[in-house]
Chains A and B, each alone.
Chain A
Amino acid sequence: MDKTTHFGYKQVAESEKAAKVAEVFHSVAAQYDVMNDLMSAGLHRLWKRFTVAQAGLRPGMKVLDVAGGTADLTRLFLKEVGETGTVLLTDINFSMLREGRDRMLNEGKAPPAVQCDGERLPFPSNHFDCVSVAFGLRNMTHKDQALAEMHRVLKPGGRLLVLEFSKVWKPLEPAYDLYSFKLLPLMGKLIAKDAASYQYLAESIRMHPGQEELKTMMETAGFAKVSYHNMTAGVVALHKGFKV
Chain B
Amino acid sequence: MIAEGLIERSLNHLLLQSPGASETLRRHAGCSVRFDLTLAQYDFRIADDGCFSEAIVESPDAVIRPTAALLTRLPFFGRDALRHAEYSGDPALLATLDRVFKQLGWDVEADLAPVVGDIAAHRLHAAGRDALAGIAHALSALGHNASEYVVEEAELMARGVDVTRFNNEVDRLADDVARLDARLRLLEDRLQEVQARPA
Task: Tell whether A and B belong to one assembly.
Answer: yes
Instruction: Mark A residues whose CB is within 8 Å of B.
Output: 53-54, 56, 58-60, 157, 159, 224-225, 227-229, 238, 240, 242, 244
Q: Are B49 and A58 in contact (CB under 8 A)?
A: yes
Closest CB in chain A relative to B15 CB, distance in Å: 9
Q: Are B1 and A60 in contact (CB under 8 A)?
A: no
Closest CB in chain B relative to A20 CB, distance in Å: 34
> Chain B's interface: helix, strand, loop or mixed, by majority?
mixed
Q: Are B45 and A157 in contact (CB under 8 A)?
A: yes
Q: Are A54 and B49 in contact (CB under 8 A)?
A: no
Closest CB in chain A relative to B4 CB, distance in Å: 8
Q: Are B55 and A240 in contact (CB under 8 A)?
A: no
Other-chain residue from B2, B45, B54, B55 in contact with A229 (beta carbon distance below 8 A): B2
Instruction: Mark B residues whose CB is within 8 Å of A.
Output: 1-2, 5-6, 8-9, 12, 16, 45, 47, 49, 51, 53-56
Q: Are B53 and A56 in contact (CB under 8 A)?
A: yes
> Chain A's interface: helix, strand, loop or mixed, by majority?
strand
Other-chain residue from A53, A157, A240 in contact with B53 (beta carbon distance below 8 A): A157
Other-chain residue from B5, B12, B47, B51 in contact with A54 (beta carbon distance below 8 A): B5
Identity of the chain A residue whose Cβ is nearest the Cβ of B57 in the assembled complex: A225
Q: Are B5 and A244 in contact (CB under 8 A)?
A: no
The 5 closest A-B pairs by CB, nearest first: A54-B5, A227-B1, A229-B1, A225-B56, A56-B8
Given contacts A58-B49, A229-B1, A240-B1, contact A53 B56 (CB under 8 A): no
Closest CB in chain A relative to B61 CB, distance in Å: 15
Closest CB in chain B relative to A65 CB, distance in Å: 18
Question: A244 — which chain B residues lie within 8 A by C-beta?
Answer: 56
CA distance A157 to B56 in the complex (A): 8
Closest CB in chain B relative to A120 CB, distance in Å: 28
Given contacts A157-B55, A159-B54, contact A53 B5 (CB under 8 A): yes
